[in-house]
Amino acid sequence: MRILLVEDNRPLADSLARALRGAQFSVDCVHDGADADHLLLTQDYALVILDLSLPRLPGLDVLKRLRGRGNKTPVLILTAHNGVGDRVRGLDLGADDYLTKPFELSELEARIRALIRRAAGHAANHLACGALGYDSGSRQFTLAGQPLALTPREHALLEVLLFNQGRTLGKEALSEKIIALDEEMNPEAIEIYVHRLRKKLAGSEVAIVTLRGLGYLLEAGDAA
């Protein structure tokens, strides 16, 4: 899953980006509102972490423009402002959650997982596709009840396919959802990761189906 982190405090931004990458998220990081607004016009993110006090374009204006375009990407506001008025205004403009600095990293990660899960229409902490299970709290996959060993890229790809279960995603869309801007990967490499995942899912009722000209679809049972 790819996240946009918008934070003008560079040491904090670097620390958060490292921690989130360690938690198997892909992270794009910018330090002002204008750059954030541009990326949100051109890129696809699972979630935005948005500071309010930003140079060039305030965080609330970034949020207002995002929602004005009809973009429903979950937004988690981070701010040092404790005032109720700031929280109310942010939520009224379309923020999905609010966290005041300082905060515990574990709480931030839990809120991120909950927002991404909710945006995908999953209320429960556990997701499944046939014998494939996923615990969004630990972010661990199991197959027929046994831990499924995956590389970071395989994990990211399978996570996106599971969260979009029943929906066909093309190589470009999958690449955008799992690869940060500072990472290099040709969208054609998605085929390699799909092939590896298929080998690891072999023998189960779960399959990644190719719909020619459209993309990939995760299915289970007779449909697979």
Q: In this predicted structure, what is the pLDDT of residue 222?
A: 55
| Beta-ladder partners of 84 | none
Note whether 82 and 149 are same-domain residues: no
Of 69, 92, 119, the one marking the end of a domain is 119
Domain that holds residue 18: 2-119
Residues 112 and 152 in one domain: no
CATH number at residue 146: 1.10.10.10
Arithmetic mean of pLDDT, 153-167: 92
pLDDT digits (tens, 9 = 90+) for 18-75: 999 998 899 999 999 999 999 999 999 999 999 998 999 999 999 999 999 999 999 9
Does one domain contain both 32 and 67?
yes
Question: 154 and 105, same structural domain?
Answer: no
Residues 143 and 105 reside in one and the same domain: no
Q: What is the pLDDT of residues 76-109, one digit of tens each?
A: 998 876 667 777 888 899 999 999 888 999 999 9
What percent of the chain clears pLDDT 90, i.e. is strictly above it?
Answer: 68
Task: Judge if 94 and 189 occupy the same domain.
Answer: no
Check whether residue 37 and residue 139 sit in a common domain: no
Query: Is the pTM of the predicted complex or chain greater than 0.85?
Result: no
- What HEC string does 87-150 produce? HHHHHHCCCCEEEECCCCHHHHHHHHHHHHHHHCCCCCCEEEECCEEEECCCCEEEECCEECCC
**Residue 133: per-residue pLDDT:** 95
Specify the number of domains making up the chain: 2
* Domain shared by 33 and 106, yes or no: yes
Mark whether 54 and 87 lie in a shared domain: yes
Same domain, 12 and 93: yes
- Work out the pLDDT band at 224, boundaries 50, 70, 90: very low
